[in-house]
């Protein structure tokens, strides 16, 4: 049997059902059907006692008897309630429909098996509309112990393709194929990991004999799925490296060495050294670099970026750094300016507010090669911006730029695309990075510069505001500065603006001039006005900065030691973490105060608790991933990679790691998948790969 056979040909399917299966579940072939994995299973191998019931258990099966019926009037009509009892306790069965028929068909004091989900209400468990059958019949019936529940849609159910029907079709598939499914993993992997053969795995995932076999089957299939994704990502990366030529920066010269020996402002951390070394290796190879530099806020990515630029300059090339906002670009520019002056390097900044004359000058000096480093915003992407010899493009705060923008920079190289270094301060959980960015190389700065005191974080309710203000006053008396942040102002959300302005007024009342000076910055201000206020705060002319999240990214005022976040429940975890990163940059103990009302959802509570309990960006990212799911975090463009059929990127982290390990190992041994023992891998990969043409490069 050929698994590529269109689903129409399977007995019991036919053209109408085939059409629905295609439209609703993307099932085109036998293979697709085989890969329709159950979402969950009803475990009918176990019988619960009433006193074992848990408040949020899934479906349970119980043996007992009905001792009495009663009818309860409700707003509309009435409901039928039966008291159900076993030797450990009683519970209720409830029907809202078909009451007469039910009452007539059930006999009190006879043994029944009930099955369904339970609710906890008024001190009793109840099961609405249970599956119910007499114990004798139940014993006689031959049902699969673990009943698979397949993914479905409303349309499918409405058109009669119920779970039972899918089950039947699946049985037919196994019948026609005589359960002979070709193995898709090589023997040595099966042996090394003690995996179930393909045949047994698919059989037990669709028709599990028991929990243990089901678990083994799931493990094998998840491993297989993740293994081939990793194989594909790693191969893409290898091909990219062999295919996309890059400029070779083979010397580390004067700029780098002078800076390193004479001007290094502090000792680099181990993690910074490691990152620089990895980047140097990439730049020195003949392939174009595509590297992601991950490091928590304040971990010191800037100097790594700068030293990478020096390598480009040492080899006669130009470099650029693009940041998402004007404020950030200015800050980068100011930060690098001193170092550049010391080394006699020409550096300029280009943003939306650069005037025409300066702009013209920049364009010219870029094209004739006089300008060595250009910092800026999206303005860098304009077609008019042409480099003589762009060798390295650095992007700060990657998630704010789209993939399209990255590729625009790519085309600014002359002979080859420039090397690309993407920096992000929002740590992406390692597991996710592995599967989404498997084709980018990854450097991680997982160490903060020494001497940093972790920010102390607390959660306070709104009615404690007076105490919080008192604390702020004390800190200002000690000479420190304070941020007070409100949720984002969006054009449509007049409420936010009102919150911010109300907040500002009440703060202005409690912190009166002239003793206190307050800055305010929000998204509806002109960039120049924003900048002016930011500068006043940065220079210490104002003690309090009332702002929306415009200050989220990158802003550096080491004297600011308190971050108050208003309506903290409205912020996402990564945003909270970013905001907190604005303080704790100086030598003083810093504080982050999360203000909320008493009304908090469970997710909000989890976010707040996480913030209070850890400063580790990676840990926070993991929680964020669990709360929001990978799709939300990575945006939709990469969701293809995450469109997993059986594995779950959050729960199956360990399997993912092992899959990646074995995929790497296999490719190291046999990069072209040419060994006879890997024939099965090559064939399966070809089947799976949508990018068939990439084989041209390898074989």
Contact residues for Mg ion, defined by CB under 5 A? 554
Contact 27, 170 (CB under 8 A): no
When CB distances are held under 5 to 8 angstroms depending on the partner's kind, the choice from ligand ADP, Mg ion, none that residue 300 binds is: ligand ADP
* Smallest separation (angstroms) from ligand ADP to the CB of 342: 15
Binding mask 590-629 for ligand ADP (x = CB under 6 A): ----------------------------------------
CA–CA dist 694, 254 (Å, integer): 41
| Distance of alpha carbon 378 from alpha carbon 326, whole angstroms | 9
Rounded-to-integer distance, Cα 402 and Cα 400, Å: 7
Least distance (Å) between residue 298 CB and Mg ion = 8
Q: Tell me which stretch binds ligand ADP (CB under 6 A): 94-102, 224-232, 260-268, 631-639.
A: 260-268
DSSP of 105-133: H--TTSEEEEEE--EEETTEEEEES-EEE
Partner whose footprint covers residue 298, from ligand ADP, Mg ion, none (CB < 5 to 8 Å by kind): ligand ADP
Q: Is 96 in the site for ligand ADP (CB under 6 A)?
A: no
CB of 336 to ligand ADP, least distance (A): 11
- Please state the separation of Cα 8 from the chain's center in Å: 38
Where on the phi/psi map is residue 300: left (φ > 0), alpha (ψ -120 to 50), or beta?
A: left
Toward ligand ADP, which CB reaches closer, 266 or 697?
A: 266
Closest to 381 in 3D by CA, of 323, 311, 340, 304:
323
Q: Using an 8 Å Cβ cutoff, are 30 and 175 in contact?
A: no
Q: 419 vs 582, which CB is nearer to Mg ion? A: 582
In 61-208, which residue ranges form alpha helices assigned H by DSSP?
Answer: 99-105, 135-140, 154-158, 163-176, 187-193, 198-206
| Neighbouring-strand partners of residue 544 | 482, 518
**By the rule CB under 6 A, 297 interacts with ligand ADP:** yes
Number of residues that bind ligand ADP (CB under 6 A): 15
Residues 6+ apart with CB under 8 A from 247: 315, 317, 391, 413, 415, 416, 418, 419
Give least dist CB 293 to ligand ADP, A.
Answer: 9
Q: Tell me whether residue 302 or residue 377 sits nearer to ligand ADP (CB atom).
A: 302
User: Is residue 269 near ligand ADP by the rule CB under 6 A?
Assistant: yes
Residue 301 binds to ligand ADP (criterion: CB under 6 A): yes
Binds ligand ADP (CB under 6 A): choice among 36, 146, 234, 303: 303
If contact means CB under 5 to 8 A according to the sort of partner, which of Mg ion, ligand ADP, none does residue 272 touch? ligand ADP
Q: How far is the CB of 451 from ligand ADP (least distance, A)?
A: 7
Taking CB under 6 A as the binding criterion, the range among 173-181, 291-299, 367-375, 661-669 that sits at the site for ligand ADP is: 291-299
Mark 98-117 with x for binding to ligand ADP (rule: CB under 6 A) and - for no binding. --------------------
Q: Which is nearer to ligand ADP, 148 or 300 (CB)?
A: 300
In angstroms, the first-to-last Cα distance of the chain is 29
**Which class for 405: exposed (0-12), middle (13-18), buried (19 or more C-beta within 10 A)?**
middle
Count of residues making up the chain:
699
Q: Cβ(315)–Cβ(247) under 8 Å? A: yes
43 vs 446, which CB is nearer to ligand ADP? 446
Tokens of 546: 């009332």
Q: Does 583 sit near ligand ADP (CB under 6 A)?
A: no
CB of 432 to ligand ADP, least distance (A): 20
Euclidean distance between CA atoms 291 and 280, whole angstroms = 11
Distances (CA, A) of 226 to 23, 491, 578, 675: 26, 43, 31, 22
Q: Could you tell which of ligand ADP, Mg ion, none binds residue 101, using a CB distance below 5 to 8 A set by kind? A: none
- Closest contact distance (angstroms) between CB of 518 and ligand ADP is 25
Which residue lies nearest ligand ADP, judged by its C-beta? 300
Choosing from 38, 246, 295, 617, the residue that interacts with ligand ADP (CB under 6 A) is 295
Stretch that binds ligand ADP, among 38-46, 290-298, 402-410, 676-684 (CB under 6 A): 290-298
Q: Closest CB to ligand ADP among 295 and 417?
A: 295
Q: Which of 284, 275, 220 lies closest to 247 in space, CA to CA? A: 284
- CA 337/CA 329 separation, integer angstroms: 12
Nearer to Mg ion, 389 or 585 (CB): 585
DSSP character string of 592-628: EEEEE-S---HHHHHHHHHHHH---HHHHHHHHHHHH
| Chosen residue from 151, 369, 449, 572 binding ligand ADP by CB under 6 A | 449
Helical ranges in 539-593 per DSSP H: 573-580
Of 68-76, 267-275, 431-439, 560-568, the window that binds ligand ADP (rule: CB under 6 A) is 267-275
**Residue 269 binds which of Mg ion, ligand ADP, none (CB < 5-8 A, kind-dependent):** ligand ADP
**CA–CA dist 230, 233 (Å, integer):** 5
Which region, judged by CB under 6 A, interacts with ligand ADP, from 298-306, 339-347, 381-389, 509-517? 298-306
Element (DSSP H or E) covering residue 561: strand 560-565
Supply the Cα-derived Rg of the chain in whole angstroms: 31
- Among candidates 340, 193, 313, which has minimal Cα distance to 247? 313
- Partner from Mg ion, ligand ADP, none contacting 13, C-beta within 5 to 8 A by type: none
User: Which residue, 397 or 496, is less far from ligand ADP as judged by CB?
Assistant: 397
| Residue closer to ligand ADP, measured from CB, 604 or 614 | 614
- Residue in 266, 461, 661, 697 binding ligand ADP, rule: CB under 6 A: 266
Which span (49-57, 206-214, 299-307, 649-657) binds ligand ADP, by CB under 6 A? 299-307
Q: Which is nearer to ligand ADP, 246 or 295 (CB)?
A: 295
Q: Which residues contact 590 (CB under 8 A, 6 or more apart)?
A: 453, 455, 456, 560, 561, 562, 563, 583, 584
Q: How far is the CB of 131 from Mg ion (least distance, A)?
A: 58
- How far apart, in whole angstroms, are the C-alpha atoms of residue 299 and residue 185? 42
Among 298, 324, 418, 429, binds ligand ADP (CB under 6 A): 298
Shortest gap between Cβ of 613 and ligand ADP (angstroms)?
22
Among 216, 218, 299, 351, binds ligand ADP (CB under 6 A): 299
Place of tokens 């068909």: 105
Q: Which residue has the tokens 């510069």?
A: 449
- Taking residues 17 to 46 in sequence order and writing x for each that binds ligand ADP by CB under 6 A, - otherwise, the string is ------------------------------
Partner from Mg ion, ligand ADP, none binding residue 295, C-beta < 5-8 Å depending on class = ligand ADP
DSSP letters of 405-467?
Answer: HHHHHHTT-SSSPPEEEEEESSPPPHHHHHHHSTTSEEEEE--PPTTPPPPEEEEEEGGGHHH
Closer of 15 and 450 to ligand ADP (Cβ): 450
555 binds, among Mg ion, ligand ADP, none (CB under 5 to 8 A by kind): none
Q: How far is the CB of 268 from ligand ADP (least distance, A)?
A: 5
Which entry of Mg ion, ligand ADP, none binds 391, CB below 5 to 8 A by partner kind? Answer: none
**Site for ligand ADP contains 425 (CB under 6 A):** yes
Give residues in contact with ligand ADP (CB under 6 A).
266-269, 272, 295, 297-303, 425, 449
């Amino acid at each position: 049997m050929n698994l590529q056979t269109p689903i129409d040909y399977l007995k019991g399917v036919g053209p109408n059902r085939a059409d629905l299966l295609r439209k609703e579940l993307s099932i085109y072939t036998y293979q697709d059907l085989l890969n329709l994995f159950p979402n969950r299973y009803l475990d009918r191998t176990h019988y619960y006692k009433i006193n074992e019931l848990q408040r949020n258990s899934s479906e349970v099966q119980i043996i007992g008897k009905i001792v009495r019926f009663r009818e309860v009037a409700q707003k509309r009509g009435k409901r039928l309630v039966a008291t159900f009892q076993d030797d450990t306790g009683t519970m209720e069965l409830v029907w809202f429909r078909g009451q007469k028929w039910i009452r007539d068909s059930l006999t009190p004091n006879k043994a029944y098996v009930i099955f369904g989900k339970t609710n906890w209400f008024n001190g009793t468990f109840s099961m609405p509309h249970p599956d119910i059958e007499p114990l004798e019949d139940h014993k006689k019936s031959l049902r699969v112990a673990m009943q698979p529940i397949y993914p479905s849609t409303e349309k499918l159910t409405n058109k009669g393709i119920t779970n039972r029907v899918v089950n039947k079709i699946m049985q037919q598939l196994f019948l026609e194929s005589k359960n002979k499914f070709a193995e898709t993993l090589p023997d040595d992997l099966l042996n090394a990991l003690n995996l179930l053969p393909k045949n047994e795995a698919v059989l037990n995932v669709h028709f599990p004999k028991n929990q243990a076999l089901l678990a083994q089957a799931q493990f094998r299939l998840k491993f297989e799925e993740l293994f081939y994704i990793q194989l594909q990502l790693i191969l893409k990366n290898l091909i990219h490296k062999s295919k996309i030529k890059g400029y070779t920066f083979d010397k580390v010269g004067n700029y780098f060495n002078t800076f390193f020996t004479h001007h290094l402002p502090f000792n680099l951390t181990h993690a910074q050294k490691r990152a620089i070394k990895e980047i140097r290796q990439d730049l020195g190879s003949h392939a174009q670099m595509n590297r992601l530099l991950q490091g928590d806020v304040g971990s010191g990515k800037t100097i790594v970026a700068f030293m990478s630029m020096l390598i480009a300059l040492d080899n006669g090339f130009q470099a650029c750094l693009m940041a998402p906002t004007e404020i950030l670009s200015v800050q980068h520019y100011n930060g690098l300016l001193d170092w550049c002056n010391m080394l006699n390097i020409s550096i300029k900044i280009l943003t939306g507010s650069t005037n025409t004359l300066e702009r013209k000058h920049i364009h010219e000096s870029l094209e004739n090669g006089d300008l060595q480093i250009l910092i800026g915003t999206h303005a860098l992407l304009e077609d008019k911006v042409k480099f003589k010899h762009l060798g390295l493009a650095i992007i700060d705060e990657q998630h704010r730029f789209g993939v399209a923008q990255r590729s625009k920079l790519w085309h600014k190289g002359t002979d080859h695309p420039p090397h690309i270094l993407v920096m992000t301060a929002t740590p992406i959980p390692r597991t996710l990075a592995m599967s989404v960015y498997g084709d980018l190389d990854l450097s991680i700065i997982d160490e903060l510069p020494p001497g940093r005191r972790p920010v102390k974080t607390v959660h306070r309710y709104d009615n404690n505001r007076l105490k919080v203000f008192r604390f702020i006053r004390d800190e200002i008396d000690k000479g420190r500065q304070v941020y007070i942040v409100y949720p984002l102002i969006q054009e449509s959300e007049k409420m936010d603006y009102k919150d911010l302005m109300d907040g500002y007024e009440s703060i202005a009342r409690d912190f009166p001039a002239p003793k206190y000076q307050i800055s305010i910055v929000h998204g509806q201000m002109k960039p120049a006005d924003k900048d002016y206020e930011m500068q006043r705060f940065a220079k210490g002319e104002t003690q309090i900065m009332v702002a929306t999240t415009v200050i989220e990214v990158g802003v550096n005022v080491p004297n600011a030691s308190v971050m108050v976040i208003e309506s903290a429940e409205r912020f996402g975890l990564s945003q909270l973490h970013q905001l907190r990163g604005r303080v704790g940059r100086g030598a003083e103990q810093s504080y982050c105060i999360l203000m909320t009302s008493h009304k908090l959802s469970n997710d909000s509570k989890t976010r707040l608790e996480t913030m209070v309990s850890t400063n580790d960006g990676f840990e926070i990212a993991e929680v964020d991933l669990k709360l929001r799911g990978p799709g939300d975090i990575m945006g939709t463009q990469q969701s293809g990679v995450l469109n997993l059929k059986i594995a779950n990127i959050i729960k199956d982290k360990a399997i993912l790691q092992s899959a990646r390990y074995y995929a790497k190992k296999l490719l190291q041994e046999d990069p072209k998948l040419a060994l006879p023992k890997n024939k099965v891998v090559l064939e399966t990969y070809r089947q799976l790969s949508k990018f068939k043409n990439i084989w041209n490069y390898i074989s």
